[in-house]
Amino acid sequence: MCKKILAGNWKMNTTIEQGISLVAALIAGEKEIPAHVQVVVVPPFTHLHIVHQYLKNHGIMIGAQNCAAHAKGAYTGEVSAEMLASVSCQYVIIGHSERREYYGENAQILNQKLAQALRVGLTPIFCVGERLEEREAGSYFAVIASQLRETVAMLNPSDFSKVVIAYEPVWAIGTGKTATAEQAQEVHAFIRKTLAESFGILAAQTSILYGGSCKPSNAAELFAQNDIDGGLIGGASLSAEDFLAIARAF
Ligand code: PGA
């Protein structure tokens, strides 16, 4: 059975004070989180250390939104995977569509980031997903297959077994427009089938999360699908009430 994961990607939101209040509210509601669900908060880099201080005696884990493609050195403004591990991060999002789109992250860069994350024991949450025009043109399967084949499909099986996949249709991110449960399930099943071509049975154990305007009102239907093993939540993760309601939807 795949691990059930609910990750909250705060993106570039919250001051330290706001971030601490959000974490405190999650801790206060932690007992509402079903025992089989691993909740992960993914704050901005600046918040990771203090958020860890709050969460260290709790079951909620922490992740980062990005990591550098290099191990260390003269890369001004970058944060390495090793630095993230040193503040007790366990997860790192790699290949979010906002990174691909606004920062030109291509397969080559993403492969370097995957290697860095895996080298220090971080669990990558690797994102794939099509744009609106690709959905409308019906080319989304081809787009997602190539996003996988150029990156995670090239890992060795042992590294691959540590990776979590997130399907995030770009047209659903932050737009309020969610993929229907059927649309999401169709792509999740396709992702699992594509990964099985490279990794066989391991693909059955890969957690595949859905992301894109997931909220309390649609989470239960999405999580009830066979191949949806959790969520990568943006906007709704900024409200402890909504995020906990999504956790209860498992
Ligand atoms: P959203 O973002 O939930 O605000 O649509 C999801 C994501 O980008 O991870």
Per-residue model confidence as pLDDT tens digits over 219-240: 999 999 999 999 999 999 999 9
Ligand 1 within 6 A of 8 CB? no
For the segment 96-107, the average pLDDT, to the nearest whole number, is 96
Q: 73 C-alpha vs ligand 1 centroid, how far in Å?
A: 32
The whole-model pTM stands at 0.97
pLDDT surpasses 90 at 175: no
Place of tokens 């079951």: 59
- Active-site residues, by number, are 96, 168
C-alpha 203: how far from its chain's center? 17
pLDDT per position as a tens digit, 14-64: 999 999 999 999 999 999 999 999 999 999 999 999 999 999 999 999 999
pLDDT grade for 176, boundaries at 50, 70 and 90 = confident
pLDDT per position as a tens digit, 183-208: 999 999 999 999 999 999 999 999 99
Contacts (Cβ under 8 Å, ≥6 apart) of 90? 40, 61, 62, 63, 122, 123
pLDDT grade for 1, boundaries at 50, 70 and 90 = confident
9 Cα nearest atom in ligand 1: 9
pLDDT grade for 178, boundaries at 50, 70 and 90 = confident
Give the pLDDT of residue 96: 97
Task: Give the percent of the chain with pLDDT over 70.
Answer: 100
For the segment 71-96, the average pLDDT, to the nearest whole number, is 98
Mean pLDDT, the chain, as a whole number? Answer: 97
Ligand 1 within 6 A of 245 CB? no
Ligand 1 within 6 A of 230 CB? no
pLDDT grade for 177, boundaries at 50, 70 and 90 = confident
Nearest Cα residue to 48 out of 15, 89, 18: 89
For the segment 120-126, the average pLDDT, to the nearest whole number, is 98
Place of tokens 């669900």: 37
Ligand 1 within 6 A of 37 CB? no
Place of tokens 């080298």: 119
